[in-house]
Structure 1
Amino acid sequence: MDVSLQGSLMKYPVTGLFLSLLSLSFVPSTIAAESFTSLSQVAETAEDYVTSFTDFPEHAEVQVKAKTLDKRLKLKRCLLPLNAHAPTSKQQRLTTVKVTCPDADGWSLYVPVETRIYYSVVTASIALEPLTSLGYDNLKLQRMEAASLRGNYFTSIEQLAGARTTRRVGDGQPLRRQQICQVCRDDIVTIYARSASLELKTSGKAIGNGSVGDTIRVQNSRSERMIDAEVIAVGEVQVNL
């Protein structure tokens, strides 16, 4: 055995020598890690900034996510808290955020941040032909991005149970008000006549198509009088006294 090595081993027990060498082997990587600002910290700073002026609609899922940054970037460690700024604080699909290290020898990086809003909407689970009665057997809830939705849509299958289509709806397509009628032409409907203290009920015949909230012409079955009534549910209309 080499004398110098033997002396070293005697001076440092095997376990102690191993731990000393092990700790030394990690020093350079630890120092290197502490010398740079992590890209995840930069991304989180940009996301937090956009989130601060983002609206979160009821019944919606909102995702605010920074685009993936180039892993080859080496940003000097910032001693002061990072700053974030964008030309506008108006909510939009893509916002470019300037993240800045305010140190004397600091840096700046532009980070694209994407905001996506999703809703669960009622869609056709099969292709639907005109005059198809709607229910759980041919409808489903599907998560869709708000940017792809046009016009009015429904968020509950219960809202459409018993309604009918007025035109063809493709498989997987969201149903819109103009594609369905909750009271359809020639339907026999229940007419409610209401005031603050009185409610009367009779029947009538729908003269046109309508969805909840629409006003349609209805013929009273007893008097044969034509009236304007608001659609309030499948097969039901209301007149305010």
Structure 2
Amino acid sequence: MIRAAAFAFAVAFTLPAVAGEAPSNARLAAIAVQYMKDHPPVPGARMEVTAEPMDARLALRPCEGTPTAGIPGGRAMGPRVTVAVTCPDSGGWTMRIPLRVKQFMSVLVTTRPLTRGDGLAADDVHAEERDVASMGYGYIANLGQIEGRALARPLRAGTVLAPGMLAGRQAVHNGDSVTILASIDGISVRAEGVALGSGDNGARVMVRNANSGKVLNAIVRSQGSVEVIQ
């Protein structure tokens, strides 16, 4: 009997409202859910939409016209969305149907701890499917969106990258020719080298001295310029 009742509810939930009938809660919910699926806030996302429980005592007049649906204010982002279902008859009614919405997209997640000023390479992140409807600070879907950017703050492994976590463009890129600055016994020395990492001002990178071939720890000081860490 329980299975039969559940099946009957599922069937009713998927049926559209019929003109001239008094719509049940299940029919109203079905209209709202279908509208949401037909108008995804994030195109291409895998959506899961469920209606919140409604007052079982609800009784509406029959609707001669075909009920329509829409989102008040046009705002559909977030894990909770309200869809208004309206009867177009003269003196008709409008019901607001609360929905829970999940939108799954592939986003970039850090694979290891990263420090402020670090540039991001392919091995620093990996793709995971996450519910982006609950990500109020946004997300980043691919490396092309952050090319040349550095981190504005340190991040733990497993952090979903968001636009607000990024600083300006990197001052040094992996493979760039750089000027290596060093201070030896109070004397400033300059040498030419090659960056073995990427980063913004203040980021730590490895560099190779072009003359000696020695690999050194350095800090990015400006565009194309690094200072050796003693």
Tell me the TM-score range normalised by the shorter chain: 0.3 to 0.5
Specify which structure has the bigger relative contact order, considering alpha-carbon pairs within 8 angstroms and separated by 6 or more residues.
Answer: 2
Q: TM-score, normalised by structure 2?
A: 0.44
Q: TM-score, normalised by structure 1?
A: 0.43
Larger Rg computed on CA atoms? 1
